[in-house]
Chains A and B, each alone.
Chain A
Amino acid sequence: MTATVAIFPASGTSQLPNRLMADEPRFTLLGVVLAFALIPVFAAMAVETRTYQDMNVWMKPAKFMISLSLYTLNLALFARFLPAGMTARRRYRAYSTFVVLCILAEMIWIGGAAAMGVGSHFNRSTPELALIYTLMGVIAISLTTASLVFGIAILRNRASGLAPGLRLSIGLGLVLTFVLTVPVAMTMAMGTGHLVGTPQTGAMLPVMGWSREVGDLRIAHFFATHAMQLLPLFGLLTLALPRHLAVPAVWTAAAGYAALVIATFVQALAGQPFLQWMG
């Protein structure tokens, strides 16, 4: 399991924050700030009396903070496998700063909308809000490009020091995050809400809050967006396989994963709930 050593430092995880900070300081700092910002948001959830679509208004900012913190910290973790010298380039630093600003803009808008008690998504009630909503979509795509940029750079970097299967799983996961998330999220954004079909009485799956009675486009969005975590985890498992099987196994898993996302997407568009047997 030598390749796992490359992901987590040999002396244990106590040095991990320092390593992330050295490899990608901007993403690391943002990820840490977002993670700590969850504390007052959860505290606000405890004292909050307002709801939006039957959920505490802070639920959505909390979900985005968890997701974006994971996203930036995960990119920082993978930054080590970018081609040598890439993160030191001026052009890269400007791009990475731009991504950080996009994430901050997204978070400030979603958090601010929650504080003010207005809908942050699908809210086209005034021309100004409709314009902001469109702009936020552009910003959301911009911040997702970081996974594409990282994915392509890692796929092309033969000197990453990673086992071929693991490197492929990281690269493909990152590319799939972008390629799958953008069409799913854009389809969802064009509509009027994340649910498809009737009746909507509010029955939902625990924790995730996905509908149990109609199609829910957030399911495909979730799996699409987290390809960059789940595929590399599979890539770690392939380290236990014979060398020549690892790469084909990762390709198969990636194809299966993309098929899963497309299936949940089609299922939601057809108005069918996820995991119907759970009724």
Chain B
Amino acid sequence: MPPETLFQFANPLAMTGWLALALSPLAPRLANAYAGFVVPVILSVGYAALILAFWSSAEGGYDSLANVMRLFDNPHAALAGWVHFLAFDLFVGAWAARRARAEGVPHILVLPCLGLIFWFGPIGFLLFLVLRAGLSLRAPKPTEA
């Protein structure tokens, strides 16, 4: 299967997960099961398959920046890297949505965090941590869900 085909399958799949998180106040448990478990698991299986099948044919490695860049010269390895982003970013997004709900962070504040986690993973993660820290200065927080 050409890597482009798999790419065109993985991207919309991850998008459905992000959509579920954006709408998660409607059905929090369902949205979290889908975005925090089902989609990351499917993407992780895809990642594992790509690594099993193509790791040995990829040049480069993890030991230097030059080697990491060479790794991404291989389309299948690059696709695996992309699927890794998709899976783990969504997982972090689902975690943020879950924590926000448990700690009473308004969904309107979670949305920009989710957007940033989606586009620039770690930046959205940082924003969420900061918002959460700020809001924890409010009145006593509700118990964990």
A residues neighboring B (CB under 8 Å):
39-41, 43-44, 46-50, 58, 111, 114-117
Contacts and interface: CB of A to CB of B under 8 A. Distances in A.
Contact of A49 (B46, B49, B52, B53): B53
Contacts of B46: 43
A43 B48 contact: yes
B1 A115 contact: no
Given A40-B52, A47-B53, A114-B52, 12 more contacts: A39-B45, A40-B49, A44-B48, A44-B53, A47-B1, A47-B6, A47-B50, A47-B54, A48-B53, A111-B52, A115-B52, A115-B53
Interface residues of B, number: 13
Interface in B98-125: none
Given A40-B48, A43-B48, A116 B53 contact: no
Nearest to B46: A43
B143 interface: no
B88 interface: no
A131 B76 CA distance: 33
Contact of A40 (B1, B45, B56, B76): B45
Interface-central residue, A43, A48, A49, A111, by most chain B CB under 10 Å: A43
A47 to B, nearest CB: 5
Question: Could you say which of B46, B50, B56, B76 has the most chain A C-beta atoms within 10 Å of its C-beta?
Answer: B56
A227 B50 CA distance: 36
Contacts of B6: 47
B49 A44 contact: yes
Given A46-B1, A47-B1, A47-B6, A115 B49 contact: no
Contacts of B48: 40, 43-44
B120 to A, nearest CB: 29
Contacts of A40: 45, 48-49, 52
Interface of A is mostly: helix
B85 interface: no
A50 B56 CA distance: 11
Contacts of A39: 45
A272 B124 CA distance: 66
A46 B48 CA distance: 12
A44 B6 CA distance: 12
A229 B57 CA distance: 40
A39 B47 CA distance: 12
A116 B52 contact: no
Contacts of B49: 40, 43-44, 46-47
Contacts of A116: 56
Interface string B35-74: 0000000000110111011111000000000000000000
B56 to A, nearest CB: 5
Nearest to B44: A40
A61 B45 CA distance: 16
A41 B56 contact: no
A244 B45 CA distance: 53
Contacts of B56: 115-117
Interface centre among B52, B54, B76 (most CB of A within 10 A): B52
A39 to B, nearest CB: 6
B64 to A, nearest CB: 22
26 contacts: A39-B45, A40-B45, A40-B48, A40-B49, A40-B52, A41-B52, A43-B45, A43-B46, A43-B49, A44-B48, A44-B49, A44-B50, A44-B52, A46-B49, A47-B1, A47-B6, A47-B49, A47-B50, A47-B54, A48-B52, A50-B53, A58-B53, A111-B52, A115-B52, A115-B53, A115-B55
